[in-house]
Amino acid sequence: MTALPSDPICVRRTALRFIAALAVALAAFASTPAWAQSSEVGKPVPLIQQPAAKEPVREQPAKTEGGKTVQVERLGTVDPSAIGLIEENEGGFGLDMWRGINRGLVETLLPRLPLPTDSPTLRSLARRLLVSTARVPEGPPGPVSLLSLRIERLFAAGEAEDVQQLLKVAPPQAADRILLRSRVDSLLLAGDTGNACGEFQNAAAADARESYWLKGLGFCKALAGDHAQAAFAAQLMRDAGDKEDAAYAAMLKALAGDRNAKVEAMVGLTALHFAMMQASKQKLAADALGGAAPAVLAAIALSVGADLDVRLVAAERAVALGALKPAALAEIYKSVIFTPEELADAPNVAKKLTPSRAAALLFQVGSIQEVPLARAEALALAFKLARKRDLFAVAATVNIPAMKAIAPVPELAWFAAQIAPALYLAGEVDRGRQWFAMVQKNTNAASPDSAAAILKLLPSAFVRDAKLAEKWDGAPLALWAGALKELQASASDQQREALVVFTLFEAVGLAVPAAAWEPLFAAPFAHTALVPAAHLIARLRAAAAAKDVGATVLLALLTLGSDGLELADPVALGEIVRALRAVGLEQDARAIAFEAMVARNLI
């Protein structure tokens, strides 16, 4: 036996050649797959089939018109990376969105977009950036097409419908590893294993170095009943040093009829894993959902045959990440069966249930209750429990109908501090303003609930609501700052909250009186925070000043980073909000400032 070279690069190259050579060698005993039946009985079909050769492009002959020779030339093809799904009047950023930034930098930065995210506004900005119809940035294209980079980030964000739409309009020649992976994963999640297996076959023929294609072919062979080839494909990957995937191996055995084959644990659930679990009828545990892509979570949530508790957890996470519509979660919540006695005693029953079942119970009570007080109590508890699970935005969006059914009356002033932020998160700014106006009107000695609510809501309401902010004169902020002593236990907490609130106020254009800043000078002049790189901030400011929308949004998302709104440095948050306002994205800027307050429990 020839020893493998010791150099790591040589070892890798040898392993890749090993995969390709042995994959082709499987043709010696390959059988016809179920997705590609051959009419030539008995003729073996190789595991990796080479696609049919394309007809050569023939030059158009010259034509003669009036004694002159006219050469007919084909029109140049439009760069597929310019393709989008929304125009400027539909929320897109315009044809010239990439003005002021070169293509090389865009292609370098796009893969670093922090997706997925549980911030509705950041997710909306990222989606619009990725699906806007726009001229490609200036500069030569890189090794991976801009279209593929956009599709990959959309898939990471859980925007499955957008991925499918872009794949439909992508030209046939626009095919690389990222685009093909997105296409085949979309087919697997949609349950279209027939076409997915065809894609695996074509992709493997064109790119035998990618082990994912071989892995998929192993699954497809198992589906076709050719378990020898399926097992051999798995062996090829192991021999080539591919990371051991115990779940994949177990499901191959299950597909081969091994009743003892079970998936014990799984981390990083992929579209292929999901399809294999469906085919092998394996049960998925809730603890296997960690690390699953948003689109995979959505597919699990919609799998009627899956365990209901697993579907509940998957659906909540998928909604949080934007991969599933709140209406779909509402239907799953409705499918949980509760007795009339449980519905009548929801607050006590909820304590005994899993968090997801408790959320379903309170959703049902909020939906069916006709007494405003009872409905408000159910929603208040639902929001409280959701905040503990970092799912407040999910609870807000799924309960919109119930919230709209409650009128803002003085008797429910105690509920205003819970429902108004939920309405703002759900995009119902006008209704949130109605609740704020109600407690503002009724703030007096006879209504302590209204007074408490107005102090709790004052910062967020003015930051989120541009109409409310039109009447800002700075005076209420002094009242709020003074009340912090009652709302916060320690001086450090008071200073921390005031610092964030004042910074965001000024970022959205609301003046903070000098007297309000003065008490903060007693606090330390430095604090520990995750500060973005200086060149990011500098380039963000320059893009905003030049009104370069695409560059501003891209750099704003990168400046925030993967740590999210909860841990972001207040100064960086202010820079992001100002930059977005500078390019006309006022409502998005305000929504980000508001969500930062929610993430930091300042509301």
Which phi and psi angles does 530 have, rounded to 5°? -85, 105
Residues 6+ apart with CB under 8 A from 150: 81, 110, 130, 131, 166
What residues make up the domain containing 465? 407-471
Q: Which of 97, 162, 152, 95 is nearest to 124 (CA)?
A: 162
Q: Which of 406, 426, 461 is the last residue of a domain?
A: 406
Contact between 110 and 149 (Cβ < 8 Å): yes
CA 328 from centroid of its chain's CA atoms? 16
What type of residue sits at position 299?
A: A
- Asked if the structure places residue 143 within a domain, the reply is no
Query: Around Cβ 261, how many Cβ atoms within 10 Å?
Result: 16
- Helix (H) or strand (E) holding 588, with range, is helix 586-599
- Give dist(CA 576, CA 128) in Å, integer: 17
- Asked if the structure places residue 364 within a domain, the reply is yes
Contact between 480 and 494 (Cβ < 8 Å): no
- Give dist(CA 14, CA 228) in Å, integer: 25
Query: Around Cβ 252, how many Cβ atoms within 10 Å?
Result: 24
Helix (H, G, I), strand (E, B) or coil at 64: strand
Q: Which of 377, 341, 352, 373 is nearest to 362 (CA)?
A: 377
- Give dist(CA 163, CA 292) in Å, integer: 17
- Give dist(CA 279, CA 276) in Å, integer: 5
Query: Around Cβ 64, how many Cβ atoms within 10 Å?
Result: 8
- Asked if the structure places residue 19 within a domain, the reply is no
Task: Identify the residue whose tokens are 């969500």.
Answer: 595
- What is the number of structural domains in the chain? 2
3-state SS string over 353-373? CCHHHHHHHHHHHHHHCCCHH
Task: Give the CA angle between residues 435, 440, 441 to the nearest 5°.
Answer: 100
The length of the chain, given as a count of residues: 603
Same structural domain, 326 and 400: yes
Same structural domain, 414 and 399: no
Same structural domain, 411 and 389: no
Q: Which of 213, 219, 194 is nearest to 36 (CA)?
A: 194
Q: What are the pLDDT digits (tens) for 434-478? A: 999 999 998 776 678 888 898 889 899 999 999 999 988 887 887
Q: Which of 381, 406, 431 is the last residue of a domain?
A: 406
Same structural domain, 422 and 402: no
Per-residue pLDDT at 59: 43
Q: What are the pLDDT digits (tens) for 334-371? A: 999 999 999 999 999 999 999 999 999 999 999 999 99
- Asked if the structure places residue 171 within a domain, the reply is no
Per-residue pLDDT at 175: 62
Query: Around Cβ 138, how many Cβ atoms within 10 Å?
Result: 13
Per-residue pLDDT at 208: 72
- Give dist(CA 435, CA 472) in Å, integer: 18
C-alpha pair distances (Å), 43 with each of 26, 97, 226, 457, 570: 14, 55, 15, 74, 68
Residue 52 burial (10 A CB sphere; 0-12, 13-18, 19+): exposed
Query: Around Cβ 277, how many Cβ atoms within 10 Å?
Result: 22
| β-bridge partners, 71 | 62
- Asked if the structure places residue 329 within a domain, the reply is yes
Same structural domain, 350 and 363: yes
- Give dist(CA 506, CA 577) in Å, integer: 10
- Give dist(CA 320, CA 392) in Å, integer: 9
Query: Around Cβ 75, how many Cβ atoms within 10 Å?
Result: 5
Residues 6+ apart with CB under 8 A from 218: 229, 230, 231, 233, 234, 237, 252
DSSP string, 454-474: HHHHHHHHHHH-HHHHTT--S
- Asked if the structure places residue 30 within a domain, the reply is no
- Asked if the structure places residue 558 within a domain, the reply is no
- Give dist(CA 400, CA 403) in Å, integer: 5
Per-residue pLDDT at 550: 97
Residues of the chain scoring pLDDT < 50: 1-44, 53-65, 67-76
Question: Chain-wide mean pLDDT for the chain?
Answer: 85
Contact between 48 and 221 (Cβ < 8 Å): no
Contact between 581 and 508 (Cβ < 8 Å): yes
- Give dist(CA 432, CA 464) in Å, integer: 10
- Give dist(CA 459, CA 477) in Å, integer: 8
Tokens encoding 480? 């709020």
Per-residue pLDDT at 473: 85
Same structural domain, 418 and 390: no
- Give dist(CA 292, CA 281) in Å, integer: 19
- Give dist(CA 502, CA 512) in Å, integer: 6
Residue 542 falls in which region: left (phi positive, over 0), alpha (psi -120 to 50) or beta:
alpha
Q: Which of 385, 406, 427 is the last residue of a domain?
A: 406
- Asked if the structure places residue 90 within a domain, the reply is no
Query: Around Cβ 67, how many Cβ atoms within 10 Å?
Result: 5
Same structural domain, 411 and 455: yes
User: Could you tell me where the DSSP H helices lie in 371-447?
Assistant: 372-388, 392-398, 400-404, 413-425, 429-441
Sign of the C-alpha dihedral computed for residues 167, 170, 172 and 178 taken in this order: negative
Query: Around Cβ 439, how many Cβ atoms within 10 Å?
Result: 29
